[in-house]
A = this chain, B = another copy of it.
Amino acid sequence: MKGKATSIDIAHLAGVSQSTVSRALRNSPLVNKETTEKVKQIAKELNYKVDKHASSLRTQQSNTLALLIFADPTSDNSLINPFFLSMLGSITQASAKHDYDLLLSFQQSSDDWHADFEDSQKADGIILLGYGDAVDFAPKLKQLDEQGTHYVRWGPPANNLPSICCDNKSGGYQATQHLLSENHSRIAFIGDASVHCPEFFERYQGYAEALIKAGHPIEPKLQTDSISTEQSGYEATMKLLKADQNFTAIFAASDLIAIGAIKAIKESGKHIPTDFSIVGFDDIQIARFMNPPLTTIRQDTSTAGEALVETLLDNIKGNLQQQILLNPELIVRNSSRTV
């Protein structure tokens, strides 16, 4: 009978009907206490577990959430963005807390991912983490919404679609403000500051605001595009260094970019923070171990993960679409201050 007992087996043994077994196992108040006890006892002995597929088919809900992580196009394809990875933990934990299973999937920018999960009833809703180009992504999101799929996305609010995000502008402002307070005025921004990458764009807005407030001009030449990888950050920084823009600090739009930037600076024979101060964004695990330890803007992945799950669950229950902004926090380490 190894792991194969059904509610009918229990019914036979308990001398009740299969419906009563089902009710008892679900703690229905309709069932007599003693009957319930007896049924549960037998179920335990048989090592019985409710068949997930049968019950899901019947109730039309799977009690499962799907987490889709969109890989950034990295050169090293096995490297998943560590920031997302750290969010994984809290999302998994939050799902479990609400008695939901979590289906995990890493996506390439394939065409029909959006339909796969909820339509096949694999999941009651999906959590979206990361994406390639925001402009390409938007129509897919819209389609999800039109299909009535339950989902929540990590990213800046757009079109009133459900999303959780940190306040990137505030983060950018804090980072820049910090560098200004360390007496820098020519601060480079490394990251794609365009609608194709709204996160970075917002960080750039915060950067610009801080500069303006301090009476400094915004110089487009101090901005260089980069996607969120070490390699890209390295190349962008090299380009900037060669352009001889006479800057003394870098605000990297992500920690991964900052890692590349630091590598470039070291290779150029310059020193951090004496020649260049650097601030990153995310506070990935690596940041505090770096040489020098990286000043950065922390996004609280723990809170974020929980918020994602709870918003999605709300959404599934039919509550209003939500947009939540989390507060980022400046973490000062030695890449931006002289010790």
Contacts and interface: CB of A to CB of B under 8 A. Distances in A.
> How extensive is the interface on chain A, given as a class?
35 or more
A87 to B, nearest CB: 10
- Report the copy number of this chain in the oligomer: 2
A103 B106 contact: no
A292 B289 CA distance: 10
Contacts of A109: none
Contacts of A54: 53, 57
B78 A90 contact: yes
A119 B104 CA distance: 20
Contact of A78 (B89, B104, B105): B89
Interface string A86-112: 001110110010000111111000000
Interface stretch (A44-52, A161-169, A199-207, A321-329): A44-52
A103 B105 contact: no
A152 to B, nearest CB: 18
A120 B51 contact: yes
A118 B3 CA distance: 8
A101 B92 contact: no
A56 interface: yes
A102 to B, nearest CB: 5
Contacts of A88: 80, 85, 88, 104
B120 A52 contact: yes
Given A121-B51, A289-B291, A96 B105 contact: yes
A45 to B, nearest CB: 13
Interface string A64-80: 10010000000000111
B102 A289 contact: no
Contacts of A49: 115-116, 119-121
Nearest to A71: B89
A3 B89 CA distance: 30
Question: Could you say which of A2, A285, A289 has the most chain B C-beta atoms within 10 Å of its C-beta?
Answer: A289
A122 B101 contact: yes
A160 B89 CA distance: 32
Given A51-B121, A57-B57, A286-B289, 15 more contacts: A3-B115, A3-B118, A3-B119, A3-B149, A49-B121, A51-B120, A53-B56, A53-B62, A64-B103, A78-B90, A79-B89, A85-B88, A89-B106, A103-B104, A286-B286
5 contacts: A3-B119, A51-B57, A51-B120, A80-B88, A290-B291
